[in-house]
């Protein structure tokens, strides 16, 4: 293996990248665009759920209950209904997801019996929002009920009843329970997978389409030297994009970073080697830029978005899908990124994911190396 020949291939590829405006656009624009769109567009924090209220009691007590809903960020009162038909119409129109109906004699029953029902109607066409909204409404009513109970006991000269079991949650790693802290590390993995595989999928296919493959085959450059010379410039670009996305996540999106930058870049390098080899494999086998780029996007974008644990928890997927995710490098990279960003996990505790990522990278390197034969077919 000759370092001189490898450097010559690298120089050739750098010139090719610089002369191709599409490659430059993908290199510099795609990471930022994806980070901004997904970072701001994908938000799993459900707040300001549209709420309709129908107060049939119209007393100070019922209004106090509805003010508890108004005081939280989880609900936004968008309509005050005058009758049941109005409530149903608002739900049918999609104007509100949750409707709270306070029955007549609510205040009277609450003060005389110490309890009173409150009806909640939910639009379950979006079952996730409906179930979360039901949980929010239940917690608000329970808090209001506890306040009323304490007030009733004080009014009757009774000592407050202390519950036998108290729930004291302590959130770790993502103290504010913000989805942004989980999303941004996943976006970094998705950007690296798509950009890395997409760019390298054009390298060898471009040579075939432009008729320069015959000249390349006629040179004394070995196929491994061609592969290294083709991939190293994109590896450097990929590491620059990793630094750009990770830096934007920490300083722009305010995602906490508690781990080691050295471990982050080492694991990113391992992941990039795998996806670059995958893109090179597609470029060699497809022999057309369009076909290779479509394969690269299909194999990297959808799995990185849907099957890596970026959006959907892997342990909630069907068992056979969980087995499929075991061969996806994005699965392990997303897990590593979240552990480094949010937990500051030491490298010895990441060994399982790093080893799996390394095995996949080696397999993809072998596939890419064997796919290219230095001869005309």
Domains and CATH numbers, the chain: 3-43+179-371 (no CATH), 49-155 (3.40.1710.10)
Q: What is the mean pLDDT of residues 165-186?
A: 72
Q: What is the mean pLDDT of residues 179-197?
A: 82
Tell me the pLDDT band of 298, cut-offs 50, 70 and 90.
confident
pLDDT digits (tens, 9 = 90+) for 84-102: 889 888 888 888 888 999 8
pLDDT on residue 358:
92
Count of Cβ atoms closer than 10 Å to residue 198 Cβ: 24
How confident is the model at residue 162, as a pLDDT? 57
pTM of the model: 0.78
User: Are 25 and 244 contacting, i.e. CB atoms less than 8 angstroms apart?
Assistant: no
Q: What is the pLDDT of residue 44?
A: 66
Residues 325-349 have pLDDT tens digits of 999 999 999 999 999 998 888 888 9
Mean pLDDT of the chain: 82
pLDDT tens digits, one per residue of 75-86: 888 999 888 889
């Amino acid at each position: 293996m000759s370092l001189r020949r490898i450097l010559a291939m690298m120089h050739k590829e750098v010139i090719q990248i610089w002369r191709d405006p599409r490659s430059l656009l993908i290199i510099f624009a795609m990471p930022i665009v994806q980070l901004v769109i997904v970072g701001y567009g994908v938000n799993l924090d459900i707040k300001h759920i549209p709420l309709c209220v129908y107060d049939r009691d119209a007393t100070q007590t019922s209004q106090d209950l509805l003010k508890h809903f108004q005081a939280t960020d989880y609900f936004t009162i968008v309509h005050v209904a005058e009758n049941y038909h109005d409530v149903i119409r608002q739900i049918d129109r999609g104007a509100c997801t949750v409707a709270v109906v306070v029955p007549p004699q609510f205040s009277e029953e609450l003060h005389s019996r110490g309890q009173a029902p409150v009806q909640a109607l939910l639009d379950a066409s979006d079952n996730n929002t409906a179930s979360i909204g039901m949980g929010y409404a239940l917690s608000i009513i329970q808090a209001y009920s506890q306040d009323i109970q304490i007030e009733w006991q004080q009014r009757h000269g009774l000592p407050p009843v202390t519950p036998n079991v108290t729930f004291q949650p302590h959130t770790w790693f993502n103290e504010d329970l913000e989805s942004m802290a989980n999303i941004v590390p996943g976006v970094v993995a998705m950007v690296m997978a798509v950009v890395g595989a997409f760019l390298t999928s054009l390298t060898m296919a471009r040579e075939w389409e432009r008729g320069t493959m015959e000249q390349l085959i006629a040179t004394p450059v070995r196929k491994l030297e061609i592969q290294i010379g083709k991939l190293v410039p994109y590896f450097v670009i990929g590491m620059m994009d990793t630094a750009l996305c990770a830096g934007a996540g920490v300083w722009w999106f305010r995602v906490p970073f508690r781990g080691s930058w050295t471990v982050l870049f080492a694991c990113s390098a391992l992941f990039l080697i795998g996806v670059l080899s995958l893109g090179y494999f597609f470029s060699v086998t497809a022999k057309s830029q369009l076909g290779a780029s479509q394969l690269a996007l299909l194999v990297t974008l959808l799995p990185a978005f849907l099957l890596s644990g970026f959006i959907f928890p892997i342990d909630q997927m069907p068992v056979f899908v969980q087995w499929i995710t075991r061969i996806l490098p994005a699965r392990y990279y997303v897990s590593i990124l979240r552990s480094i960003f949010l937990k500051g996990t030491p490298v010895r505790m990441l060994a399982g994911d790093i080893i799996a990522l390394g095995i996949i990278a080696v397999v993809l390197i072998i596939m890419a190396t064997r796919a290219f034969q230095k001869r005309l077919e």
